[in-house]
Structure 1
Amino acid sequence: MQDLKQQQALDTATFLRVRKWYLLAFATIALTIIVAQILIQQHLNSQLNDSRVINVAGRQRAFSQKLVKEVLMLRSGQSDGPSSPQLLEDLRHTLYVWRTSHNGLQQGNDSIGLPKEENVVILELFADLNPHHEAMVDAAESILRGTEGEQDLPESYNEDLQTLLENEAIFLTKMDAIVNEYDALSKEKLQELKLKEYLLLGISLAILFLEVMFIFRPLSIQIRETISKLIRSQKESDATANEIQRLFLEKEKSLQQLQELNFVIDNAALFASTRRDGTVVFISKKFLALLERPESNMNVPLSEILTADQGQQQYLREVLTSKRKNIRSEEIEISTQTGKHLWLDMSIIPMHQSGLEQSVLILCSDITERKKNQLKVEELTKQNYEENMRQKQLQASKIVEGQEEERKRIAKDIHDGIGQMLTALKFNIESINTDQKEKTKEKVAYLKELTTDLIKGVRTATFNLTPPELEDHGIFPALQKMTVELSKLTGRNILFENKAKRSIRFHSLAETNIYRVTQEAVNNAIKYAEANYILVTINYHDGLLSVVIDDDGKGFDTSILKKGAKHESEGGMGVVFMKERMSYINGRLFINSIPGEGTRVTINYNVKETVLDGTE
């Protein structure tokens, strides 16, 4: 009954809502149509007045010509006799209509349906035309006054006729301008009417669109939702009836399911139940089989069934008999009667009966295999740690060895290069004999060359050490300085290209190792690849620093690197130590070379940069 009332209330509310919005929509459309008709009728009335004005204005031209024509006819009629009274009457009528229409166009005249002119432009045109019109009117009236009661034309006829003829052409021209202005105003009003009609059409379409979007569409959605609710209510009623039927059928099967559940607990789960004092109420067959205990004599403490170890029994007795409200879970190692050691993941769940006596449920899982595997994992982890430490020690020893090799190389360069040049310098200075001027000049020139070579050797040896630019300004300026100095010292074409968009600093250890690896790659290209062109390119994008060294040297077979061999360099750090340096900072080194075509060495380093912007 309540659903029926709710459905009727919903139907009534929906109907009232639909009726209200439909009435509002139709009222809006009707109002738009009425406003449009009022505007159109007002404009049509205005157009009728404009048509009348244009007609009268155009007729003024004809009346001016008729006036002149009738005046001319008076003169032509004198040869035949007196003036015709009919011709004079026509002239008076023409003058009257012409003058009345002219004044009506400006001031308005209800008898001929002319409104008062309000347009400033047209009034200015009439003001310019009025002197000519008045001159023509005065001339015509003068002629009419001269012919009253006389048979002959007045003496001023010719003069008045001349006035009419002189002003007629000007009148016609200026009247044409007024007619054209009337026509332009009429067209302008017509355009305004079109714009109004377009505007009203747009408003009508907008109203229809808004009604569709905010009235008809929401109403259709609401109606659809209402129908959907009714359908869902019917489906829910059917589902409720089906659920009641299903519960009735399940109730009949509940006893059988409980029996099956007891069987599952007894044979498939590690489950036990104890009293408050810790004695066993129930224990599953699977639990007994795991503990290797018979089913008889179960009225004993559970701690004695679980383990044969006295210490473990005491601990379990305290855990099982202590009062608690929360579930307790822990991993316990037990010893069975046969001496087997087991690990159990035990959950102790306190239960309260209706008699306020507490009992305990114990759910267990056999985790013996997991514990064994965990011990194996820990042992393997320890072995891996020890292996990693050995690798680190080996890596450190290789780095020390590389440093020693670097020192030996520097000492060898100083001994073989600078030392020999100093010895030669000493011997040449000692052999100078001032008495032999020609030989002395030759020796002095030789000493100058030797001194220049000595300076280059010293600069080369000192430059191979850590440059101050690396510590002060970072890897970018240091590599640029290195390429410039080596190009000067060796005479090779060594270039540097920086594609990074901003100044970036990295960890000092990373900058040092990247600099050394780049320096070794350039030295190898100079000494062993015999390259004439070397390009060092550095780039940084999305956290990746990349340094590429390209040369046009003789190259080598990279397959020897896969066998663990060193680079062709024996005096330098070699490829092995280059890779060790990059591995030490978690970087990567790639070497690509083709015999006879050159070598490319690529250094990649992933790191979060620090931008040099004056702040930390």
Structure 2
Amino acid sequence: MENLDKTVAQRLSVQYIMALSIVAILTVFGQFLVHNTLSTSQDDSHIINIAGRQRMLSQKMTKIALVLKDQQIGTPLYDSSLVKLKSSFEEWEQVHNNLQKDNITKPRKYNVTNSQVILSYFSNINPYFQNLHALFRSCIKNKPTSEIISKILENEGPYLSWMDKIVTTYDKEATKRVNTVKSYELILGFLTLGTLFVEALMIFGPLVEYVKQVIFHLTKSEKKLTETNTQLRYSNKMLLETQKQLEEASKEKYESKLKEENIRNASLLEGQEEERKRLSQEMHDGVGQMLTGIKLSAEKLASMDPNNPKFAIRQTDLLAQIKDTIEATRGVSFNLMPSVLKDYGLESVLKILKAQTEKNSSIVVNYEFSSGRLPNKLEIGIYRIIQEALNNTLKHAEAKVFSINVLTKAGLVYVELSDDGKGFDPEKIKEQSLIHNGVANMKTRTKLLHGTFKVISNLNEGTNIFIKLPLES
């Protein structure tokens, strides 16, 4: 039903918009055509009137010239007739030139459409116009003579004949344009009606059918709704019971997780205490015994005569004991918290860890470091994890090679630790005490850094540890 709604609505919307657009375009085009036709017809009518007026002005000037030739004419009548001749001559001359150049601007700008036929008529009439122009100008300057009047009448006939053809041609061409526009308007009318018919056939017809389908589906859905409501009431009852069970299960899961977290935190604290005991033991058994030996050697050296040959030997032994004590102290300090880690970063510490391990054991340490300086908290956590993994390998794995790979990519730090030792069963490791379980300690440290921890190990196949930590933890 939903897909039907979307499909029909989309199709009808597109068709309706297209139909309205076509009707709007045809309407606008029709309005433009009508407006343009009215404007053109108005211009054509004015041009026809102007062309007809040219004939009238020519005849008017001929009559005035005949009046001016009369010897009995009085001065007042002569002067007034001469003024009329000048005024008519100026208008006749100006309109004739503008009519040919499509430049009628009075009383406003009019669009003059001169076809090739009309232009050829103007070409034929121009000689007669020029002759009349010169003769009328002569009448304005001097009193017309019988010879001038005769020439005016001789040229006026052909001039009026060609002007009749020009006026008639203007009228025919204007009528032809109007008929053409009528044809266009008729076509636009048919197109508009056709568009409305198609709209009714392809839009309103499917819309009515769609409404019928909707009513049918609604009637059918009403029956299903009654059945569904009954099922929903039963389902709601079951849902409430399930929700109650889920709440109890979530509560138990939360309590179990909280208990596990407390155990892990306690184990971490106990592990720290164990580490402190180990360091205390190292200080007592190692550095403490060395300092005691130094004290005894110094007392013996103080009681000897400096000239005694054994004095120099004792002095050399004392210096060697002091050097060993310094090295042992540095080792304990390095295990506790390497100062190099804070000053120079994790890569420098890994170099020292590699050198010390290879010096004090038979294992080879390889490392690849593809990161810059990391946040201090992150570097300390990674170092402790690597230290824990390396200690486990030295104690239990009987490995020959221990590999470290640290890589930073896309805001994450990837740490991979592996050895080629005898491996172990991860399931059995879970059963050991958390305090003495190095894997659990590494996992806890990873979790505190908001990372993920994965260990893969099989008997006699070595161990691989994969850790992924966020750069901003």
Q: TM-score range by the shorter chain?
A: 0.3 to 0.5
- Normalized per residue, which structure has more strand? 1
* TM-score (structure 1 length as normaliser): 0.38
- Normalized per residue, which structure has more helix? 2
